[in-house]
Amino acid sequence: MNLGTPDTPRSADSAEAAGRSSSHHPAPMKPWKVRYVALLRASRCNKRLTHSTTSFHASKKYGVDHRVLETLSLENSTNKESSGLSPLVYCTLKRLVSDLVVFATARNETALSELSNSGIKTFALDVTNESRSSGFATKWRKLLESSGQTFLSAAADLDMKRVQDLYNVNVFGVMRMVKAFVPLLVASGDACILQVGSVAGVTPYPFGSTYSSSKAALHTYGNTLRIELSPFNIKVVNLCTGSVKSDIIETKLNPLPGSSLYKSIESIVLGKRKEVSQGGAMSAEDYAKNVVLEALKANPRAWLWEGSKSRFVWMVDTFLPRTAFDNMMKRWYGLDHIRSGLQT
């Protein structure tokens, strides 16, 4: 299985040599094919600030043909300063592909006002509603979009209503949109769905079991989708995202319930969130650039590990025992203090 290890960049000399060796039998030039690239990334904030990008053959309704389009989705965002990674991905795409049209969707239309002023075409859409998602796809026949959120709590303290809400967005929302747009992807003859997941879906994530399990579900869904859609020349890529600098990351947990088994280490737990997510994080600009370059490849990798710590996670997950992270996580979150306290 291709686990998505980062490709080693080719040197200029080797690239030049490869060009000379292939010059005797040049490959026929192919026209720009219809291409869909959906970045289905669940963001890590309770405001459900989410985003995705899609490229496809543009509708003549807007007078553009064979052009890349990005879709940005913000769910219930109220912070005008916090726009996440998608605007950076959009700007990177715009630099690489001059003809770019952007579509943005949100349930909260006020979240789209500034995007609208930037030349982005905005639409109201609730991705948790299957009929509305399908109707949107039928109307525009060109949009693939998803959204996400996070919820941090000890597994023993879970609010099941919030768990269901998170899965409805992070997992079922992705499935609804993929289902709605598969006919368009098949018709394109050359498509790619790039689902932006998280290293949290690979590693144990104390006090984040709901979020991490939704990411693991998305990864597994993507793996299966890749096989099922392969006969139709539709590529599916799982993007395993590590730490990326962002002003929208949820930096703390809500206070633990008074009856929580972990109340004695609450200060440690609350202090770890920002350190784990933002410590040594990759710049959002570099993240966007690397994602876009991969998304625009003719044959992108099945798994792309991007963001700080993502390659470390890949190495541990690939070569070490399944429990390799256990002791590390126990120390980080102070869980060893609870055990020693019980023994005394």
- Return contacts of 155-160, CB within 8 angstroms, 24+ apart: 155/209, 156/260, 156/261, 157/256, 157/257, 157/260, 157/262, 158/209, 158/210
Residue 291's CB is within 10 A of a number of other CB atoms, namely 28
Q: What is the three-class DSSP state of 289?
A: helix
Asked if 256 and 271 count as a contact pair (C-beta separation under 8 A), the reply is no
DSSP secondary structure code for residue 254 in this structure:
P
In DSSP notation, 111-165 reads GGHHHHHTT-EEEE--TT-HHHHHHHHHHHS-----------B-GGG--HHHHHH
Closest residue by Cα to residue 72 from 46, 56, 49: 49
Asked if 169 and 75 count as a contact pair (C-beta separation under 8 A), the reply is yes
Q: How far is it between the farthest Cα atoms of the chain? A: 77
- Size (the chain), residues: 344
Asked if 321 and 260 count as a contact pair (C-beta separation under 8 A), the reply is no
Residue 79 has a pLDDT of: 31
Give pLDDT tens digits along the chain (344 positions): 444 444 444 444 444 444 444 444 444 433 333 333 333 333 332 223 233 333 333 223 333 223 333 444 333 332 333 345 554 555 555 555 555 565 666 666 666 666 666 666 666 766 666 665 555 554 333 333 445 567 788 999 999 999 999 999 889 988 888 888 888 888 878 788 888 889 999 999 999 899 999 999 999 999 999 999 999 998 888 989 888 887 555 544 578 888 999 999 888 888 777 677 677 788 878 887 888 788 778 888 999 999 888 999 999 999 999 899 998 899 888 898 886 555 54
Structure tokens, 273: 């969130």
Catalytic residues: 211, 215
Which residues does 243 contact at the CB level (< 8 Å), separation at least 6?
276, 277, 278, 279, 280, 281, 282, 307, 308, 309, 310
Residue 222's CB is within 10 A of a number of other CB atoms, namely 22
In DSSP notation, 308-336 reads BTHHHHHHHHHHS-TTTTHHHHHHHTTHH
Choose which CATH entry (3.40.50.300, 3.40.50.880, 3.40.50.720, 3.30.160.150) describes domain 32-343: 3.40.50.720
Q: Does this model's pTM top 0.85?
A: no
Q: Alpha-carbon distance 15 to 23, whole Å?
A: 12
